[in-house]
């Protein structure tokens, strides 16, 4: 897939953006009525200059002033109501659009395949959910508000000008195409720089995320100055791009105002030539000049808001690229209830998307229900890849993986993953209570007694009892308030509570001390007694009782058998065993 920041803005993007607004047609109609009403009252008030000067003040007819005194307050009350209708309603619509987009993005992030997340930084994706959607909010709110309201005011002022003196106003027919050309040229610049700003913001978020997550590493290895310099470069790049946008905006506004001033100068010159314009009174002249002067502000705002609109469209393109990404395929339709736990790999080969060398090459093995199979080998040999294929985080390019004799691709994805409980060396805990972390994914209203039993088996209660809030203790982001061994025990309690027919242990005891490992092994033995187990292990002492051990090297099975059988063969397993126990 192409880079998410390599975008091109076109009409379909704007059309798709408008589709988010069509859901709120009634509210949008109310907003448009409010904005046009607001501008119509402004144009009407300005249009009264001519009769005020010529008819009232010029001829001593003060009845007009008396009527105006009665109407001015009600009109401005009505103007305030129109302003509220337009501004609040459009803000409400933009809020709903952003809510809908953010929810769609978040749902998409969850449903995108693991390979997508592997190839895109977390910071960039977070930036799309926060910064990019804010740009869409500005386009849906401020930009549309200004375009409609100020556009209506421009139309109203032009109507007043041409109504009183088409000769003086005709100059605007000449400068209109020039203004349109400037807006078109500047729009392209806005789009390009806006894309660069989005990319810079993604890089900025990624830099912050990496330093915050790796804070201890930065401190231990003295990387403060290096990270600060790296962040400064990315921060400065974002500043440069923002300044480029500012320059484009300033030049466009200044250019249009200069053109409008030329038109005003021409009007003043024409008015200075006697007899050139028929029926030119003081009121008509003042009316036209004031209208032309008043036009400068809405023209400036329309040009300036083009910046927000273009940034919003660039953000939409970036967001739509994620929303259009292919989600994780769920081709399976078969429901299997609770699996027996029979697993088979038949001639399975797999290569990661960004790699050329095969991670797995011609893997063949089977596991009977209730058996424990261990995968051992050097780091990067392909052990964890096998469990990722089994849970369909990735799809093999060749071969078949079956569960209870059924191709796993034929099984409904949610139903397939419900058959597995996973305990990894990289434990993921949520910023929630210990009880909710243990019960995660089981059901919303969990049974506290069941959580307590799982915690007892996994030896979680031994440290929970020492906490002031017990099971209601909030563990912090990813369990930072707990030790590695405590996090591991919570993960095992979660797997116990799930009662899945198949258990995957991926280096589950790697972060534990000897005492904790002894306790965890006791818990795992109880858990493994009731299910099929796949154990990815580094410490061979933890898998001596496995029914079958597979020795993996460079993506291939080089040995398989029981612990004693492999020792007798005196092959790679025996050498690895001798090396570990000699240490």
Would you call 227 helix, strand, or coil by DSSP? helix
Q: What is the pLDDT of residue 5?
A: 37
Residue 352 φ/ψ, nearest 5 degrees: -65, 145
Determine what percent of the chain falls in helix, strand and coil, rounding each to the nearest 5.
65, 10, 25
More confident residue, 258 or 83: 83
- Over the stretch 464-481, which tens digit does the pLDDT of each residue have? 888 888 888 888 877 778
- Over the stretch 169-211, which tens digit does the pLDDT of each residue have? 777 777 667 766 776 676 667 667 777 777 777 777 777 777 7
Fold match between domain 11-323 and domain 343-582: no
- Over the stretch 35-48, which tens digit does the pLDDT of each residue have? 999 989 988 888 88
- Over the stretch 162-173, which tens digit does the pLDDT of each residue have? 888 777 777 777
Task: Output 290-295 pairs: Cβ under 8 A, ≥24 positions apart.
Answer: 290/46, 290/49, 291/46, 291/157, 291/158, 291/160, 291/161, 292/161, 292/260, 292/263, 292/264, 292/267, 293/264, 294/46, 294/153, 294/157, 295/154, 295/157, 295/158, 295/260
Quickly list H helices, 324-429. 383-390, 413-417
Q: What is the pLDDT of residue 187?
A: 66
Q: Which of 76-80, 277-281, 469-473 has the lowest mean pLDDT?
A: 277-281
Within a 10 A sphere around the Cβ of 415, how many other Cβ atoms?
Answer: 16
Q: Which of 61-65, 395-399, 559-563 has the lowest mean pLDDT?
A: 61-65
Q: What is the pLDDT of residue 407?
A: 92
Cα 543 to Cα 195, 307, 525, distances in angstroms: 53, 63, 11
More confident residue, 476 or 514: 476
Q: Half-sphere exposure of residue 109, counting CA atoms within 13 Å on the CB side?
A: 17
Sorted by where each begins, the domain ranges of the chain are 11-323, 343-582
For residue 278, what pLDDT band results from cuts at 50, 70 and 90? low
Q: What is the pLDDT of residue 68?
A: 79
H or E element in which residue 373 lies: strand 372-377
Question: Do residues 481 and 475 touch, judged by C-beta distance below 8 A?
Answer: yes
pTM, two decimal places: 0.72
Q: Cα(55)–Cα(62) distance, rounded to whole angstroms?
A: 9
Q: Cα(222)–Cα(43) distance, rounded to whole angstroms?
A: 65
Q: Which of 1-10, 397-406, 417-426, 527-536 has the lowest mean pLDDT?
A: 1-10
Q: What is the pLDDT of residue 387?
A: 85
As a whole number, mean pLDDT of residues 526-544 equals 79
- pLDDT more than 70, % of the chain: 87
Name residues whose C-beta falls within 8 Å of residue 356's C-beta, 6 or more positions apart in sequence.
none
As a whole number, mean pLDDT of residues 76-101 equals 89
Q: What is the pLDDT of residue 37?
A: 92
Residue 3 φ/ψ, nearest 5 degrees: -60, 140
Q: Which fold has domain 343-582?
A: Rossmann fold (3.40.50)
Burial zone of 277 (CB within 10 Å; 0-12 exposed, 13-18 middle, 19+ buried) = middle
Q: Cα(376)–Cα(383) distance, rounded to whole angstroms?
A: 7
- Over the stretch 424-470, which tens digit does the pLDDT of each residue have? 877 888 888 888 888 887 765 567 888 888 888 888 888 888 888 88
CATH code of the domain occupying 11-323: 1.20.1560.10
């Amino acid at each position: 897939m192409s880079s998410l920041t390599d975008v091109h803005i076109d009409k379909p993007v704007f059309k798709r953006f408008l589709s988010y607004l069509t859901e709120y047609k009634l509210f949008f109609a109310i907003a448009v009525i409010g904005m046009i009403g607001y501008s119509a009252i402004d144009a009407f008030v300005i249009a009264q200059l001519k009769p005020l000067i010529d008819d009232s003040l010029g001829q001593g007819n003060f009845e007009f002033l008396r009527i105006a005194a009665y109407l001015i307050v009600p009109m401005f009350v009505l103007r305030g109501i129109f302003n509220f209708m337009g501004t609040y309603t459009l803000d409400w619509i933009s809020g709903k659009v952003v809510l809908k987009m953010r929810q769609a993005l978040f749902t998409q992030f969850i449903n995108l395949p693991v390979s997508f997340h592997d190839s895109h930084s977390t910071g960039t994706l977070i930036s799309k959910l926060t910064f990019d959607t804010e740009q869409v909010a500005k386009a849906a709110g401020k930009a549309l508000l200004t375009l409609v309201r100020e556009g209506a005011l421009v139309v109203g002022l032009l109507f007043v000008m041409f109504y009183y003196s088409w000769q003086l106003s005709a100059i605007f027919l000449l400068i209109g195409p020039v203004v349109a050309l400037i807006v078109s040229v500047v729009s392209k610049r806005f789009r390009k720089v806006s894309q660069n700003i989005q990319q810079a913001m993604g890089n900025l978020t990624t830099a912050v995320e990496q330093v915050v997550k790796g804070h201890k590493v930065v401190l231990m290895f003295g990387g403060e100055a290096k990270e600060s310099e790296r962040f400064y470069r990315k921060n400065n790049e974002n500043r440069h791009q923002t300044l480029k946008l500012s320059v484009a905006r300033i030049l466009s506004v200044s250019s249009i105002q200069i053109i409008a001033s030329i038109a005003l100068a021409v009007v003043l010159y024409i008015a200075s030539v006697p007899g050139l314009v028929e029926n030119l009174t003081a009121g008509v002249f003042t009316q036209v000049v004031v209208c032309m002067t008043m036009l400068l502000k809405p023209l400036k705002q329309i040009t300036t808001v083009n910046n927000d609109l273009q940034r919003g469209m660039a953000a939409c393109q970036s967001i739509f690229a994620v929303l259009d990404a292919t989600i994780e395929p769920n081709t399976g339709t078969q429901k299997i209830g609770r699996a027996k736990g029979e697993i088979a790999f038949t001639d399975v080969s797999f290569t990661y998307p960004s790699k050329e060398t095969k991670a797995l090459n011609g893997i063949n093995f089977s596991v009977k229900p209730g058996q424990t199979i261990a995968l051992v080998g050097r780091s990067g040999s392909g052990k964890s890849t096998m469990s990722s294929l089994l849970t369909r985080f990735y799809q093999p390019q060749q071969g078949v993986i079956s569960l209870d004799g059924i191709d796993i691709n034929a099984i409904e994805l949610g139903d397939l993953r419900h058959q597995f409980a996973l305990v990894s060396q990289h434990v993921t805990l949520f910023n929630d209570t210990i009880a909710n972390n243990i019960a995660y994914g089981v059901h919303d209203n969990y049974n506290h007694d069941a959580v307590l039993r799982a915690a007892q088996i996994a030896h979680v209660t031994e440290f929970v009892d020492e906490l002031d809030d017990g099971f209601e203790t909030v563990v912090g982001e990813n369990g930072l308030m707990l030790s590695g061994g405590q996090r591991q025990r919570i993960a095992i309690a979660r797997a116990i509570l799930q009662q899945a027919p198949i258990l995957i242990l991926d280096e589950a005891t790697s972060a534990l001390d000897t005492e904790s490992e002894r306790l965890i092994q006791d818990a795992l033995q109880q858990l493994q007694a009731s299910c099929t187990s796949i154990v990815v292990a580094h410490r061979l002492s933890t898998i001596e009782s496995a029914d079958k051990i597979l020795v993996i090297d460079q993506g291939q099975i080089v040995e398989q058998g029981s612990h004693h059988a492999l020792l007798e063969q005196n092959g790679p397993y025996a050498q690895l065993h001798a090396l570990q126990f000699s240490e």
